[in-house]
């Protein structure tokens, strides 16, 4: 099922400048794998080599942070919006 993925500016060049792409998947992990299959340059910017979520990237399903849900196993359904947001640090 297609899910829309909102991309941060830093990843848009990997997707032909698009801010949103539609990919298939029933979990956040499947969506990210589909995204990386279609746009391989995003892989190391989103996931660690072991397949876990990069610590400097936040992923939301609708407005919920997946780290407080089921992380990469968080289910998604058609019409959901997955947002990839770079972590911001400062002081």
pTM summary value: 0.92
Handedness of CA 5, 8, 11, 16 (dihedral sign): positive
Reported as a pLDDT band with limits 50, 70 and 90, residue 91 is low
**To the nearest whole percent, how much of the chain has pLDDT over 90?**
87
Domains of the chain: 2-86 (3.10.20.30)
- Nearest C-alpha neighbor of 84 from the set 1, 10, 2: 10
Place of tokens 């190391």: 44
Between CA 3 and CA 27 the distance in angstroms is 10
Neighbours of 15 (CB within 10 A): 17
Q: What is the predicted pLDDT for the residue at 87?
A: 83
Using one digit for the tens of pLDDT, what is the confidence trace for 16-59? 999 999 999 999 999 999 999 999 989 999 999 999 999 889 99
């Amino acid at each position: 099922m297609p899910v829309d993925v909102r991309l941060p500016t830093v990843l848009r060049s990997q997707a032909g400048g698009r801010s949103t792409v539609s990919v298939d998947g029933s979990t956040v992990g499947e969506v990210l794998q589909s995204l990386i299959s279609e746009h391989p340059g995003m892989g190391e910017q989103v996931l660690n080599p072991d397949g876990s979520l990069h610590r400097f990237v936040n992923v939301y399903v609708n407005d919920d942070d997946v780290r407080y849900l089921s992380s990469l196993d968080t289910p998604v359904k058609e019409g959901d919006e997955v947002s990839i947001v770079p972590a911001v640090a400062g002081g």
